[in-house]
Chains A and B, each alone.
Chain A
Amino acid sequence: MRILLKNFGKSFGAVNVIENLNLEIHDGEMLALLGPSGCGKSTTLFAVCGIHKVTAGQILFGDRDVTHVPSQQRNVGVVFQNYALYPHLSIAENIGFPLKIRKESAAEIKRKVHEMADLVQIGALLDRRPAELSGGQQQRVALARALIRRPDVLLLDEPLANLDAKLRLEMRSEIRRIQQETGITAILVTHDQVEAMSMCDRIAIMKQGQIVQIAAPMEMYDNPVSDFVAGFLGNPPIAFVDGALTGSVFESSGIRIELPSAAQRNGGPVKLGIRPENFQPEFPQKVSGEVTFVESQGRETLYDVRLDDGQILRSIQGHAVRAGVGERVSWGISPDNILIFDEKGARL
């Protein structure tokens, strides 16, 4: 089911959280709402499911205007951050609750609960209480409960935030698998860029109640519209270097780089964004500096290099450690992959 937010706005009393937001989620797509804490992700999500009343604009499911339709009639499944399982009901009763409300027959409920439990692989746990499950299992139950009445839309509010690193990895692909198997349209709220990039078809980056950019993950990684977006995607994060552009030459007190594809600007202050993988020993445009930090992450090693004017570049390289802290290095930048932003942060 296609979801369309038209000039959507939401304020709490005098506080304007979201103004004039437009967003389209395609049928069967999984879209990530990615942004820093407090930017209005949950607010948007709760407006879509009807928990929050919309203060401006429209929400459409397909061609149906649901702006003023109560939650109960929207047919939206929601997975809350803390799962919100019903503690006094067994797992089977939890999953079957939406059907019970619809007064489906006990046999029918039982059949569907088992089917759902198999889908999320918790078939053996149906008689337990939520308190007797691990975090990952609770999360599966929440997912099953959200999916059992075949909702038109699935909303996930930071569903993985409470899980440990390994489970998070597992549930990431698990949720994606289930979403693809059911073909349901889904919105995933997260502030974890890895989650957004690995699970979703498209990412919408939000900042202060505005959508800054919507694109497929790799497209967004390669072509961010602003330094904010570039800084949000990628781990370890991109490094920014301030300086001035003259013709196609970038200069700051620490470095001088020839930019082949640079927009022609004379003497304007600009900001270069250089991702760690584009700052490597073998690359052509050499800059030198002092290694200030080395972090071995097992398969890869991360270096911070302080340029002569104090700005920091990051480099991520293979396993072998090539330089220690305090050592001077002269590594290269690949000029084709440099991102250039103007002083306000907009991409040039």
Chain B
Amino acid sequence: MTGNYKTWPMILLLGIITVPLVLMYVYLFVDTVTNSAPGSLVPNEITGEHWRFLWQTLPGRPSIWTATFNTFLFATVTTLIVLSVSSTAGYALSRLNVPFRAFFLAGVMVLHAFPTVTLIIAIFLILQFLGMYNTLIGVILVKASLELPFGIWIMKGFYDTVPWEIEMAGIQDGASRFTVWHKLVLPQVMPAISALGIFSFLAGWSEFILPLVLAPDNKVQVLSVYLAALIADDNNFDMALFKSVGVFYVLPVIVLFLFFQKRLMSIYGGGTKG
């Protein structure tokens, strides 16, 4: 912040612009714990009934805890796959003499550019054929492979910044190629690993289209699908309930953001400082 111009008019302006947004958030929270008379904006009673989904299973829906567990499993396993494949594939593309390296990199890029929706019918058919339709593992594999191009590119970029001499020094010190990667190089790209991990987790947590199409069953339902089903159900439409589930759904994301803000930023910073 320079002293050349006063900051308060700026802050005021930004404040005014953000008021509607802030209000929306405030009402989102307020509505989940209160009731208000129809047509009124001011709540007239405090209630816990909108959060009843936590202790009772809604008719025709899976238990919220099943859905939460599924979402968690989906996001975590996707992240683990993305991390392990990206961290090794990125290294190979950055350092080893891979045949067709340029072709690989370009191909990975093209894959990343493909909108998921265009692939979904083909993926649906393949999963159907493999008997993995309506299974978590099927949709996890699909999500992970769609996340991989980004992960591989990010990791390759980070590996490229690790000095070549560090590896040579490791080899000279008697370490095998694998030990060098594991003990010397991987720690240098740790910021990228953690950032990529958080990104993948969040992407998995918020993924909607894939589970909706590929794993819609109650047993394997994730929160995003659960939430969408609520609003799609015209018979028992309950806006406050929908909002409460929504808040429940984003809470972990917000917590994660608060905890890992710095690390998330490092993916744009690059490099080995940390």
Point out residues on A near B: beta carbons under 8 Å.
49-51, 71-72, 76-78, 80-82, 84-88, 97-98, 101-102, 145-146, 149
Q: Is the Cβ of A98 less than 8 Å from the Cβ of B173?
A: yes
Q: Is the Cβ of B175 less than 8 Å from the Cβ of A80?
A: no
Tell whether B116 is near chain A: CB-to-CB under 8 Å: no
Tell whether B212 is near chain A: CB-to-CB under 8 Å: no
Which of B165, B171, B188 is within 8 Å of A71, CB to CB? B171
Indicate with 1 or 0, residue by residue over B100-121, a CB within 8 angstroms of chain A CB atoms.
0000000000000000000000
Q: A72-B174, A98-B174 are in contact. Are A80 and B169 (CB under 8 A)?
A: yes
Q: Is the Cβ of A145 less than 8 Å from the Cβ of B173?
A: yes
Q: Is the interface of B mostly helix, strand, loop or mixed?
A: helix
Report the contact-size class of chain B (Cβ under 8 Å from the partner): 10 to 19
Q: How far is the CA of A345 from the CA of B106 in the complex (A)?
A: 53
Q: How far is the CA of A52 from the CA of B17 in the complex (A)?
A: 62
Chain B residues, Cβ within 8 Å of A77: 172
Chain B residues, Cβ within 8 Å of A71: 171-172
Q: Is the Cβ of A80 less than 8 Å from the Cβ of B165?
A: yes
Q: How far is the CA of A82 from the CA of B176 in the complex (A)?
A: 22
Q: How far is the CA of A71 from the CA of B175 in the complex (A)?
A: 9
Which residue, of A49, A72, A97, A149, has the highest number of chain B Cβ atoms within 10 A? A72
**Closest residue on chain A to residue B168 by CB atoms:** A51
Q: How far is the CA of A51 from the CA of B166 in the complex (A)?
A: 12
**Closest residue on chain B to residue A98 by CB atoms:** B173
Known: A78-B169, A87-B166. 10 other contacts (CB 8 A): A71-B171, A80-B168, A82-B165, A84-B163, A85-B169, A86-B166, A87-B272, A88-B188, A88-B190, A101-B179
Tell whether B252 is near chain A: CB-to-CB under 8 Å: no
Which of A84, A101, A145 is within 8 Å of B168, CB to CB? A84
Chain A residues, Cβ within 8 Å of B176: 72
Chain A residues, Cβ within 8 Å of B166: 84, 86-87
Chain A residues, Cβ within 8 Å of B184: 86
Indicate with 1 or 0, residue by residue over B139-178, a CB within 8 angstroms of chain A CB atoms.
0000000000000000000000001011011111111100
Q: How far is the CA of A86 from the CA of B168 in the complex (A)?
A: 11
Give me the 9 closest cross-chain CB pairs, A-B, nearest first.
A84-B165, A98-B173, A84-B169, A88-B187, A80-B165, A101-B174, A78-B172, A101-B175, A71-B171
Q: How far is the CA of A98 from the CA of B272 in the complex (A)?
A: 23
Indicate with 1 or 0, residue by residue over B8-41, a CB within 8 angstroms of chain A CB atoms.
0000000000000000000000000000000000
Taking the nearest CB of chain A, how far is it from the CB of B187, in angstroms? 4
Chain B residues, Cβ within 8 Å of A76: 172
A-B contact pairs, 11 of them (CB 8 A): A49-B172, A71-B171, A72-B171, A78-B168, A78-B172, A84-B165, A86-B184, A88-B188, A101-B179, A102-B174, A145-B173
Taking the nearest CB of chain B, how far is it from the CB of A31, in angstroms? 19
Chain B residues, Cβ within 8 Å of A84: 163, 165-166, 168-169
**Closest residue on chain A to residue B164 by CB atoms:** A84
Q: How far is the CA of A98 from the CA of B169 in the complex (A)?
A: 10
Taking the nearest CB of chain B, how far is it from the CB of A131, in angstroms? 8
Q: A80-B165, A84-B166 are in contact. Are A51 and B187 (CB under 8 A)?
A: no
Q: How far is the CA of A155 from the CA of B169 in the complex (A)?
A: 12
Taking the nearest CB of chain A, how far is it from the CB of B171, in angstroms? 5
Q: How far is the CA of A146 from the CA of B174 in the complex (A)?
A: 11
Chain A residues, Cβ within 8 Å of B170: 86, 97
Interface residues of B in 163-207 (CB under 8 A from A): 163, 165-166, 168-176, 179, 184, 187-188, 190
Q: Is the Cβ of A72 less than 8 Å from the Cβ of B163?
A: no
Q: Is the Cβ of A82 less than 8 Å from the Cβ of B179?
A: no
Taking the nearest CB of chain B, how far is it from the CB of A108, in angstroms? 15
Chain A residues, Cβ within 8 Å of B165: 80-82, 84
Q: How far is the CA of A287 from the CA of B173 in the complex (A)?
A: 59
Q: How far is the CA of A215 from the CA of B165 in the complex (A)?
A: 31
Chain A residues, Cβ within 8 Å of B169: 78, 80, 84-86, 145
**Closest residue on chain B to residue A46 by CB atoms:** B168
**Closest residue on chain A to residue B176 by CB atoms:** A72
Q: Is the Cβ of A101 less than 8 Å from the Cβ of B173?
A: yes
Q: How far is the CA of A87 from the CA of B272 in the complex (A)?
A: 9
Chain B residues, Cβ within 8 Å of A49: 172
Taking the nearest CB of chain B, how far is it from the CB of A87, in angstroms? 6
**Closest residue on chain B to residue A72 by CB atoms:** B174
Taking the nearest CB of chain B, how far is it from the CB of A50, in angstroms? 8
Which residue, of A49, A51, A76, has the highest number of chain B Cβ atoms within 10 A? A51
Q: Is the Cβ of A51 less than 8 Å from the Cβ of B171?
A: yes
Q: How far is the CA of A76 from the CA of B172 in the complex (A)?
A: 7
Chain A residues, Cβ within 8 Å of B172: 49, 51, 71, 76-78, 146
**Closest residue on chain A to residue B190 by CB atoms:** A88
Q: How far is the CA of A97 from the CA of B187 in the complex (A)?
A: 15
Q: Is the Cβ of A82 less than 8 Å from the Cβ of B163?
A: yes
Chain A residues, Cβ within 8 Å of B168: 51, 78, 80, 84
**Closest residue on chain A to residue B165 by CB atoms:** A84
Taking the nearest CB of chain B, how far is it from the CB of A143, in angstroms? 12
Chain B residues, Cβ within 8 Å of A51: 168, 171-172
Which residue, of B171, B174, B187, has the highest number of chain A Cβ atoms within 10 A? B174
Chain B residues, Cβ within 8 Å of A50: 171
Taking the nearest CB of chain B, how far is it from the CB of A78, in angstroms? 5
**Closest residue on chain B to residue A96 by CB atoms:** B173
Q: Is the Cβ of A97 less than 8 Å from the Cβ of B173?
A: yes
Taking the nearest CB of chain B, how far is it from the CB of A16, in angstroms? 21
Chain B residues, Cβ within 8 Å of A72: 171, 174-176
Q: How far is the CA of A80 from the CA of B171 in the complex (A)?
A: 13
